[in-house]
Amino acid sequence: MTRLIDGKKISASEVEQLAVDTRQFIAESSVTPGLAVVLVGDDPASQVYVRNKVKQATAAGFNSTEHRLPEETGQAQLNALVEQLNSDPSVHGILVQLPLPAQLSEPEIIRLIAPEKDVDGFHPQNVGALAAGNAELIPCTPMGCMIMLRQTLGDLSGKHAVVVGRSNIVGKPMAALLLQANCTVTIVHSRSQDIEAICRQADILVAAVGRPEMIRGSWVKPGATVIDVGINAVESGGRRRLVGDVAFNEVSEVAGAITPVPGGVGPMTIACLMKNTLTAARQQISV
């Protein structure tokens, strides 16, 4: 029987423990961790993500503030807000919801956020620390994937992990974390040859490419653990539904364990954002 890796259940446990740790931190420091979330424009998916992040921040015991800016916001206005949050001692974590409207530069904003408040883990300084193996603020989705993998498999040493996708947000940091866990790591991407054969070698297969149901059952080694990072909206029978990068029905017949979409990686990403916020507060307060 294929094991379903329940991201909702694991994330709820993580947030519950985080609330305990937060209460202890507040008791020791008399400081409540503060998370500032910035949303530019009216993208419906981004609004849902922000709402969920604020809800989880409250559940963890943080002070959470939302900063909503109109779609036509200019770079100077957004930069000024980020600079203001950088200098606010009550704000320990800053998250600018991506993607941004076309007129705004995402790389510029990522570089502008103070590295010690970069709870997404995207600042070049934090990316470098991850590559060196000593990062404190780790990109949230890969961190969440690692928690699920360790809870499912225990020690990952020696396992062959294949990561499908090489994005800065998921693919590259995921590969770095798997390497630190002593996996043998392969990254496949749009220029890779014979992707199916490479995927079939994987003990751990992480799909993070943004293509609906790209990974088929025939691509998966029997008994492999499959982590589906993708979340894609597709039309089917006149209805809109969410699917991953993995053809779930096919792959679940082959895999030893698999994450669903929705309810797999997504909740873990938000839980790990909260973990990063507490880590950032601890570093800034030195408790």
% of the chain surpassing 90 pLDDT = 89
- Pull the structure tokens for residue 105: 């530069």
Per-residue pLDDT reduced to its tens digit, 24-40: 999 999 999 999 999 99
Q: Is the pLDDT of residue 108 over 90?
A: yes
Q: Is the pLDDT of residue 269 over 80?
A: yes
For 190, phi and psi rounded to 5 degrees? -65, -20
pLDDT band of residue 287 (cuts 50, 70, 90) is low
Instruction: Give ranges for CATH 3.40.50.720 in the chain.
Output: 140-266
Per-residue pLDDT reduced to its tens digit, 161-182: 999 999 999 999 999 999 999 9
Please answer whether residues 18 and 58 qualify as being in contact, where contact means their C-beta atoms are separated by less than 8 angstroms: no
Q: Is the pLDDT of residue 218 over 90?
A: yes
Note every long-range contact of 172-177, with CB atoms under 8 Å and residues 24 or more positions apart, other chains counting: 173/121, 173/127, 173/130, 173/138, 173/139, 173/142, 174/141, 174/142, 174/145, 174/206, 174/208, 176/130, 176/131, 176/142, 177/130, 177/138, 177/142, 177/143, 177/145, 177/146
pTM: 0.94
Q: Is 238 annotated as a binding residue?
A: no
Separation of alpha carbons 156 and 204, rounded Å:
9
Q: How many other C-beta atoms lie within 10 A of the C-beta of residue 250?
A: 16
Q: Is 166 annotated as a binding residue?
A: yes
Separation of alpha carbons 34 and 188, rounded Å:
38
Instruction: Give ranges for CATH 3.40.50.10860 in the chain.
Output: 29-114
Q: What residues are labeled active site?
A: 53, 97, 120
The domain 29-114 is classified under which CATH number: 3.40.50.10860, 3.40.1350.10, 3.40.50.10420, 3.90.550.10? 3.40.50.10860
CATH level 2 (architecture), domain 140-266: 3-Layer(aba) Sandwich (3.40)
Average pLDDT of the segment spanning 102-126: 97
- Least confident window among 52-56, 69-73, 147-151: 52-56
Q: Is 167 annotated as a binding residue?
A: yes
Radius of gyration of the chain (CA): 19
Please answer whether residues 176 and 131 qualify as being in contact, where contact means their C-beta atoms are separated by less than 8 angstroms: yes
Q: In what order do the strands lie in the sheet with 63-69?
A: 63-69, 34-40, 93-96
Q: Is the pLDDT of residue 201 over 60?
A: yes
Specify the amino acid at residue 211. R
Q: Is 165 annotated as a binding residue?
A: yes
- Pull the structure tokens for residue 75: 């770079």
